[in-house]
Chain A
Amino acid sequence: MADKYSADTIITETQKRISNAFDVFDHESNKTVDVREIGTIIRSLGCFPSEADLHDIIAELEEEEPTGFVRYEKFLPTMTKILLERKFRPITEDLLLQAFEVLDQQKKGHLEPEELTKYLTQEGEPFTQEEMDEMLSAAVDPDKNVILYKDFFH
């Protein structure tokens, strides 16, 4: 029996993970996915790319004449590389907490919905209204109507 930790096995296992994730979005079972789902697939495999990062990746993956679809043959090597090189590492809870603290300029220990909305829809890689609404619906404490960000972390 092969050594389960050999490099080959790791690559194969990685590729199988990629294949599985790809298949979830391959509605026609013809080894293509809609280019708009690429971000979701990459992120669901554990990566935290920014929108700019995704832009670059998609540019690489698209056909010479963009069809709106990405083929698995192109996706697999690109994604394998990303995973093996551990690009777009996860954001640790520490870092995330600090990010919230930075935004909490008055050091209140919580954020007002308007504050968070202002930052996330105007700064960085802005949220759409839908993304903002969805995040608020999950993040806002219904009684106090503020975002108790410290509670997100252990």
Chain B
Amino acid sequence: MTSTHTNSHTEAAKMEQVITEFFYKSLLIILESRSSYVSSRNYSGEQTVSSPSSSSSSSSSVRPRDKWFNLALRECPSALENLDLCRRSNFEPVVVDVILEQKPLDWGPASFSPTSDLVRNLSSKNKNSYFWNSDQQDESGSEMKCEKIIERWFVQNESRKGRDCNSGNRRSSCNNLSALYKKLILMLRSLYVTVRLLPAYNIFRDLNSSGLICSFKLVPRVSSFVEPLTRKEEVDMQRFWFTPVDTSCGRLCLSVLYHSSISDMSSESSTPMSPQFIPDYVGSPLADPLRRFPSLPVSHGSPSSLPFSRRHSWSYDHYKASPPLVSFSPSPTHSESNALVSNPSSLGLPPMSLPPHPPETSLAHKRNTNFDEYCPSPNFSASPSPSPSPSLPIYIPWTHLSKALLRSESAPVNIAAPKLANTPALSGKQNLPPCPPLKITRAGTSRTDNIRVPAETDATIEKIFSFGKEDCWKYSGVKAFSNSSPRISCSRSSSRSLQDDFDYSEFPCPFDVEDGEMMDPGSRKSQDAAVGALVRLLKKAPPLRQNVSLNFSEASRPEILSNSIPKQSQILEAVTVEYAAAPNIASFRLVASKTTTDALEELRGYKVMKNLLLSEGGKAYTSNVASAAEHSSTSKDRSIL
């Protein structure tokens, strides 16, 4: 008798424990598929290991509570265990409301990570409501959020009145217990599959997996008593019943009310934040205009020594012997495509491609942006000086520069880029590291290898060069003419001599005549030859105005540059210009900075000279002819006489 009583008591206790664990397990299954911090979805690290019951897996990987109903799930937060407080007995139901909260888009990141603290809200003596909440919500105020119950789960043990729970013999109760346990296992398996088939799971999965900043979140709320849903709320919901499992004292019931069409609601709210331009991103000149990029070339160095390589639209592939002096580093730091905003896909956000570079606006910092899609600001830097470190950089707003370059007062003449070379002083040690290639695509820009030298002295800086894909240029310095209009001289660091600077062999001089063609000065050909010789002489003549160039280099200041360029303070990109102190360099600069206008003027001068010579020669010829005629006539007269 006593043993029977003990056994039945034991069986009842076991039954009680089984039912309690069933409540716990079912709640865990529901919550872990509706709360990201409880989820087992990311619990895949151990899933590659064989089944927990296999011999190879360590028993320590399976917690004691995992073994209940043979379903090993992720460790639940401690708060879940506090749910026992809301249930005084196994006959009290548990209701789980899955709430879709929608908030404005100005949620901070913290609001999406609700704390695991359990907030107890006792509203009535019959209502014990525990719900997950976050501090951000409390601070912002509940009136800001829009809540909608998209699921309501009921877990309850319906009592069977008028029946003695402890009755029955030992064998039948034992069988009952094992049968009950098996049936509960099956029910929980079904529950596990069902929670993943309901529409709310898609929202949960998207929230967990994607990095989208969503305006909504799922908040499960556990309580033992809730207000019944309104008729309007219930109309849109469907119910799914799990077949109840009979226990010795009642039956365990599990059901769910769910919205079948919440995907529209979530898809509308899951749009990413609208792209915004961030003017002061890290690395932006606006944030730190005087910051020197590590890619600034130094007098020594190799491409590999650069701290980071950036692709530029101009490479020096064509001029490998002479790495350029000017390097252009776009403002965004790296050219590798990182799906920062992406997708999520994925999580991430779809990579957003920037629109073509808007000169008037600030650039958004997009690490995944290809350089093809915008025009970065060039970082003008040059180190023709023998000093090991470049001098103070000068920053020219790229936008101003580009606009200025496009303005021309006179048609520029293309000067072959490779022909513009450095002074001898720039050779050897001054070989600057080549700038990494940078791809820049500008609408309407054709690929050329030429440098367009600014035409007019008082004009704003014309388009110095048109960017090709593979060219990389460095500027050797800035020079201003007497009317204070600055020019940016282009040079290439090479070992070429000054004579190579203006190799006009590609531009045949109309007066250029072979040496052997110097003939009778009286003849027309000889006149041309003389002019050609004069031209060659002028070519080889030493440069003039050396002192002036020095003054100009001193006078060339950033303010001159900035004066010549329309001030647009929104965008200021780094343009580093260095000044050469050496007279040779200055003179080279003088020579190099000869404009096409100067060349034209020279040509005109030569033409005038030619005409003069011709006219003089003609006169001389005429006089000679006349004199010859006279002479002949005289001789004839003489003969006649």
Q: Do A and B bind each other?
A: no
- B-to-A contact residues, CB < 8 Å: none
